[in-house]
């Protein structure tokens, strides 16, 4: 088995004629928080969605090259996107628990459809476990049958994280998870990310370098669809090799 | 945007207010006409006009007695059959057109649906009377009586295809494009992030779509309500296939009336009788209120959903 | 692996079922068009041009065609100016109480059973006049036309970017001039298409004419205070006749109506994104 959770090799993504990811070669080590940063529109969200084949939803998106998940190619003909997505959880920019499902069902739905639990008991305990992991259990344990509409943005986002980890994935993709959350909620989520890397590999797309500096072990800087540089967070932030990275970190590229 | 309220009417208001006033007036006037003209029927028979199934048209006014319960029943029954047919079609159509069809075919399907919605209803009527009615008789009713002896024990072999079922099927075909339009719009409005969320949980297309359908359920319900309103108000096509008989029967194969087909077929000669016209206005008033309530409800629910769906 | 395959199977089944049901939804229309053509073309060929010019005794539906055009024309004259003003009002005041009530009323009228309009007009025009008439039929159609025209007008104008208004007001142009001379012309295309679609829609209406227009098929219409026929109304009458030759006439008339409708509707539909019917 590979020592990397995700490896891309000459990965190219096109939206119709637009070349949005260019010759991307990335290696994401296991059990780390790997941040992908770059100005908006640089292709970081697209890159993230190539890791769980969510780009399949986009009719005009075309993927070339290779993405390996723990050494297994996910873009070969005989891989099933559903199996991959079971192993790769995702958290989104907009906290999106299903508004028409209860808090309980929001977590249960993926488990149920994928038959990941045997019975109601196991379901209950799995849901409790995931909510505890997401640090939300104490806040919602008495209202699991409520709809998520009354939760705060930060709570909703933690519910989405619980929904993802309930599936016991190996990798969790996070697409700017704090972009729409208030500072207090953001802090909790950042703490949570830190916790999560013990058990999972977290790939975090962020629009703020500061967040990458706070929570990540490794960082990759993407600009205009290309990988500018990647490495240990401490090193990139203190002595970037590239002028572009330096400019970005100084806040000159938006 | 700040609007400064001016007390003086400007030229714009002088032109538009009378038109708006006229339309409101027209609507109230209509309500008034239905009220005043149905009043004699209520005074004579009370609510029995709606609650009894009886139709005695006599040239001697004393003997006349009317209760339109059978027509009310027929309206509800045929509209429910119509919904039972239209709903699965509309939902399938919305999913298939939205998710599976390539662009070109998609456009084609949408245009076909729009043509169906706009097609003169009398064309559905003639097709219903000359094709659908015999078709249903030969391919549904007769086989059922032949091969399901259990059912034939309870009622007689149907004489013709003019029936609640034929009317319901025809109405179903007619209202499908309306419900489809509502469902398709709603399905298209589902924020992409929920779609991504569903698939990110490792769901199949079927499972993900089921969840998204749950999400647009309020819109589907409004579509159903609006479709019901259309079905219950449809007149000529229904009156050509429903058989026009007073029948308070749950048997889908028996002929019947609907409120609108009752009005369409009886109003023309109602002036011969002393009391029938008023009863028909009472029938109209009933339709008026059902239409009003149903459409208000459908429109309200749809509006609320549209407002809530934005992230 | 077993449950997994079952999921895949369900997925496939889902595709097949939605596909079949979608097809099933449009089959009636295709069959209707096909049947109307097959049944209608025979009588039209047999009778020849007389079919569209002659009276009923000649074997033609000329007076009905004339009636439909007269009714539609009159209905447009009566309905469009009022409806346009209402639509403009609803566009201008989307948030005021009357504005919102107007929009709601229009939506209700759009869905309202058309037979009720017919009976209303019978009571207020036919009975006082003592006769069915073109004007009664046209008024009935006008009531049905109005909400369509108003809603289309409102929506076409709402599509116009707000900055045009700001620009006009910034130049000190009055509200009435801004709306009627600037916004409406910019939205011209949408408004016109909406108008034509609404007219095509009411031209095919039957129920509102049942007890208002009266029907006239043995001679051409005499004037707007006299009864007129209409193609849909004629079809309705002929279908109920026991005679097979009347049925043939009904199919022929249906083909004429269908051709008129498709001829108007399809080009219009192709020119815009969505319709309200």
Q: Which domains does chain A have, with CATH numbers?
A: 4-249 (3.40.50.300)
A82/chain C closest Cα distance in angstroms: 10
At C131 the pLDDT is 95
Give backbone dihedrals phi and psi of A71, rounded to 5 degrees, phi first: 85, -10
- C94 interfaces chain B, CB cutoff of 8 Å: no
Above 80 in pLDDT, residue C122? yes
| Confidence category of residue C1, pLDDT binned at 50, 70, 90 | very low
Percent of chain C with pLDDT over 90: 79
Residue B6 lies in a domain: no
DSSP A203: E
Domains of chain C, earliest start first: 50-271 (1.10.3720.10)
- B191 interfaces chain A, CB cutoff of 8 Å: yes
The sign one gets for the Cα dihedral A237, A239, A244, A250 is positive
3-state helix, strand, coil in chain C (%, to 5): 80, 0, 20
3-class DSSP state of C252 = helix
Q: Give CA–CA dist A183/B110, Å, rounded.
A: 46
Residue B8 lies in a domain: no
Q: Look-up: residue for tokens 């009719």?
A: A59
Q: Give CA–CA dist B66/B266, Å, rounded.
A: 12
At A251 the pLDDT is 85
| Confidence category of residue C2, pLDDT binned at 50, 70, 90 | very low
Instruction: Give the total number of structural domains in chain B.
Output: 1
- B189 interfaces chain A, CB cutoff of 8 Å: no
At B285 the pLDDT is 97
| Confidence category of residue B146, pLDDT binned at 50, 70, 90 | confident
Neighbours of chain B (3+ CB pairs under 8 A): A, C
Above 60 in pLDDT, residue B3? no
Percent of chain A with pLDDT over 70: 99
| Confidence category of residue B153, pLDDT binned at 50, 70, 90 | low
Q: Which of C105, C102, C80 is nearest to C90 (CA)?
A: C102
Neighbours of A65 (CB within 10 A): 16
Under an 8 A CB cutoff, do C26 and B88 touch? no
Percent of chain B with pLDDT over 70: 95
3-class DSSP state of C171 = coil
- Chain B contact set for A97 (CB, 8 A): 197
Contact A207, A176 (CB under 8 A): yes
At B159 the pLDDT is 82
The per-residue pLDDT for range A77-114, each reduced to its tens digit, is 888 899 999 999 999 999 999 999 999 999 999 999 99
At B1 the pLDDT is 46
3-class DSSP state of A22 = strand
A18/chain C closest Cα distance in angstroms: 26
At B5 the pLDDT is 52
Residue B41 lies in a domain: no
Q: Which of C83, C269, C95 is nearest to C193 (CA)?
A: C269
| Confidence category of residue C165, pLDDT binned at 50, 70, 90 | confident
At A19 the pLDDT is 95
- Chain C contact set for B95 (CB, 8 A): 18
CB under 8 A, 24+ apart: contacts of B98-106: B98/B184, B98/B187, B98/B188, B99/B205, B99/B209, B100/C15, B100/C18, B100/C19
Residue B274 lies in a domain: yes
Residues 6+ apart with CB under 8 A from B310: none
> Is C258 buried (19+), middle (13-18) or exposed (0-12) by CB count in 10 A?
buried
| Confidence category of residue A253, pLDDT binned at 50, 70, 90 | confident
Q: Give CA–CA dist C142/A81, Å, rounded.
A: 57
CA angle, residues C129, C132, C137, in degrees to nearest 5: 110
Under an 8 A CB cutoff, do C124 and B90 touch? no
C226/chain B closest Cα distance in angstroms: 18
3-class DSSP state of A202 = strand
Pairing of strands A171-175, A201-206: parallel
Q: Which of C146, C260, C262, C158 is nearest to C195 (CA)?
A: C146
Under an 8 A CB cutoff, do A113 and B201 touch? yes
| Confidence category of residue B45, pLDDT binned at 50, 70, 90 | very high
* Residue A184, both tokens: 């207090």
Q: Is ipTM beyond 0.90?
A: yes
Range of the domain at B168: 51-309
- B211 interfaces chain A, CB cutoff of 8 Å: yes
The per-residue pLDDT for range B233-289, each reduced to its tens digit, is 999 999 999 999 999 999 999 999 999 999 999 999 899 999 999 999 999 999 999
The per-residue pLDDT for range A168-226, each reduced to its tens digit, is 999 999 999 999 999 999 999 999 999 898 899 999 999 889 999 999 999 999 999 99
Average pLDDT value for residue range B299-306:
89
Contact C206, B121 (CB under 8 A): yes
Average pLDDT value for residue range A23-44:
93
- The per-residue pLDDT of chain C, averaged, comes to 93
Average pLDDT value for residue range B92-110:
93
Contact C233, C72 (CB under 8 A): no
Contact A106, A166 (CB under 8 A): no
Alpha helices in chain A (DSSP H): 44-50, 81-87, 103-113, 120-133, 137-140, 153-165, 183-196, 209-215, 233-238, 243-249
At C5 the pLDDT is 81
Q: Give CA–CA dist A47/A70, Å, rounded.
A: 17
Residue B34 lies in a domain: no
Average pLDDT value for residue range B144-164:
79
CA-based R_g, chain C, Å: 23
C170/chain A closest Cα distance in angstroms: 34
Q: Give CA–CA dist C38/B30, Å, rounded.
A: 42
- B210 interfaces chain A, CB cutoff of 8 Å: no
CATH of the domain at B304: 1.10.3720.10
Under an 8 A CB cutoff, do B197 and A92 touch? yes
Contact A194, A111 (CB under 8 A): no
- C3 interfaces chain A, CB cutoff of 8 Å: yes
**Closest chain A CA to residue B201:** A110
Residue B74 lies in a domain: yes
Q: Which residues make beta-bridge pairs with A227?
A: A222
- C2 interfaces chain A, CB cutoff of 8 Å: no
Q: Give CA–CA dist B41/B275, Å, rounded.
A: 7
Residue B120 lies in a domain: yes
- Chain B contact set for C207 (CB, 8 A): 121, 235-236, 260, 264
């Amino acid at each position: 088995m590979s020592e990397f959770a995700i490896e891309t090799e000459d990965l190219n993504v096109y939206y119709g004629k637009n070349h949005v990811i260019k010759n991307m070669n990335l290696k994401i080590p296991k059990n780390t928080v790997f941040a992908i940063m770059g100005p908006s529109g640089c292709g970081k969200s697209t890159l993230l969605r190539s890791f769980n084949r969510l780009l399949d939803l986009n009719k005009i998106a075309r993927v070339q090259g290779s993405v390996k998940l723990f050494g297994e190619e996910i873009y070969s003909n005989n891989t099933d996107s559903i199996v991959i997505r079971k192993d790769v959880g995702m958290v989104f920019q907009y906290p999106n628990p299903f508004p028409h499902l209860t808090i309980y069902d929001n977590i249960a739905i993926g488990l149920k459809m994928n038959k990941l639990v045997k019975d109601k008991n196991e379901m209950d305990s799995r849901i409790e476990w995931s909510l505890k992991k997401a640090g939300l259990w104490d806040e919602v344990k008495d209202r699991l049958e409520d709809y998520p509409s009354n939760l705060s943005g930060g709570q909703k986002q933690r519910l989405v994280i619980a929904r993802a980890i309930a599936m016991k994935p190996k990798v969790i993709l996070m697409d700017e998870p704090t972009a729409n959350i208030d500072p207090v909620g953001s802090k909790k989520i950042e703490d949570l990310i830190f916790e999560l890397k013990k058990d999972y590999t977290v790939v975090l797309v962020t629009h703020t370098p500061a967040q990458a500096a706070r929570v990540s072990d490794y960082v990759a800087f993407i600009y205009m669809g290309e990988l500018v540089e990647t490495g240990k967070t401490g090193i990139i932030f203190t002595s970037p090799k590239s002028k572009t990275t330096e400019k970005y970190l100084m806040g000159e590229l938006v | 945007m700040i609007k400064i309220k001016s007390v003086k009417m400007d030229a714009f208001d002088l032109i538009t207010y009378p038109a708006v006033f006229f339309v409101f007036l027209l609507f109230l006037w209509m309500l008034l006409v239905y009220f005043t003209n149905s009043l004699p029927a209520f005074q004579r028979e009370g609510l029995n006009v709606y609650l009894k199934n009886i139709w005695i048209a006599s040239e001697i006014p004393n003997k006349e007695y009317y209760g339109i319960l059978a027509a009310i029943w027929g309206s509800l029954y045929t509209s429910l059959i119509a919904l039972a047919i239209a709903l699965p079609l509309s939902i399938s159509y919305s999913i298939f057109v939205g998710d599976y069809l390539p662009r070109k075919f998609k456009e084609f399907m949408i245009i076909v649906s729009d043509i169906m919605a706009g097609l003169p209803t009398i064309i559905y009527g003639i097709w219903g009377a000359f094709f659908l009615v015999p078709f249903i008789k030969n391919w549904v009713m007769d086989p059922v009586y032949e091969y399901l002896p259990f059912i034939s024990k309870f009622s007689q072999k149907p004489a013709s295809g003019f029936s609640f079922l034929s009317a319901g099927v025809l109405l179903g075909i007619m209202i499908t494009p309306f419900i489809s339009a509502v469902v398709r719009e709603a399905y298209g409005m589902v924020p992409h992030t929920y779609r991504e969320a569903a698939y990110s949980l490792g769901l199949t297309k079927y499972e993900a779509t089921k969840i998204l359908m749950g999400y647009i359920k309020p819109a589907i319900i409004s579509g159903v309500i609006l479709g019901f309103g259309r079905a219950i108000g449809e007149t000529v096509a229904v009156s050509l296939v429903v058989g026009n008989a007073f029948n308070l029967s749950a048997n889908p194969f028996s002929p019947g009336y609907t409120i609108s087909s009752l009005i369409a077929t009886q109003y023309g000669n109602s002036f011969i009788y002393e009391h029938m016209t008023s009863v028909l206005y009472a029938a109209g008033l009933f339709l008026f209120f059902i239409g009003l309530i149903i459409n208000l409800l459908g429109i309200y629910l749809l509006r609320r959903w549209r407002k809530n769906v934005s992230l | 692996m077993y449950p997994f395959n079952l999921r895949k199977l369900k997925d496939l089944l889902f595709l097949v079922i939605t596909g079949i049901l979608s097809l099933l939804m449009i089959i009636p229309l295709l069959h209707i068009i096909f049947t109307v053509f097959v049944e209608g073309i025979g009588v039209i060929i047999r009778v020849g041009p007389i079919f569209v010019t002659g009276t009923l005794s000649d074997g033609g539906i000329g007076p009905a065609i004339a009636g439909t055009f007269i009714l539609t024309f009159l209905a447009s004259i009566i309905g469009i100016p009022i409806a346009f003003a209402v639509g403009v009002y609803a566009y201008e005041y989307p948030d005021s109480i009357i504005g919102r009530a107007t929009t709601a009323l229009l939506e209700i009228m759009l869905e309202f059973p058309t037979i009720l309009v017919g009976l209303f007009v019978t009571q207020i025009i036919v009975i006082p006049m003592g006769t069915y008439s073109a004007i009664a039929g046209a008024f009935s159609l006008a009531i049905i036309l109005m909400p369509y025209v108003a809603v289309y007008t409102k929506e076409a104008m709402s599509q116009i970017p707000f900055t045009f208004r700001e620009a006009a007001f910034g130049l000190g142009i009055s509200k009435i001039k801004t709306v009627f001379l600037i916004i409406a012309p910019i939205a011209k295309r949408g408004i016109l298409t909406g108008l034509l679609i609404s007219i095509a829609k009411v031209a095919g209406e039957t129920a509102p004419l049942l007890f208002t227009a009266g029907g006239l098929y043995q001679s051409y219409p005499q004037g707007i205070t006299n009864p007129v026929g209409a193609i849909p109304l004629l079809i309705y009458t002929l279908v109920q006749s026991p005679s097979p030759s009347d049925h043939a006439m009904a199919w022929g008339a249906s083909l004429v109506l269908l051709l008129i409708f498709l001829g108007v509707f399809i080009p219009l539909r192709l020119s815009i994104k969505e319709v309200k019917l």
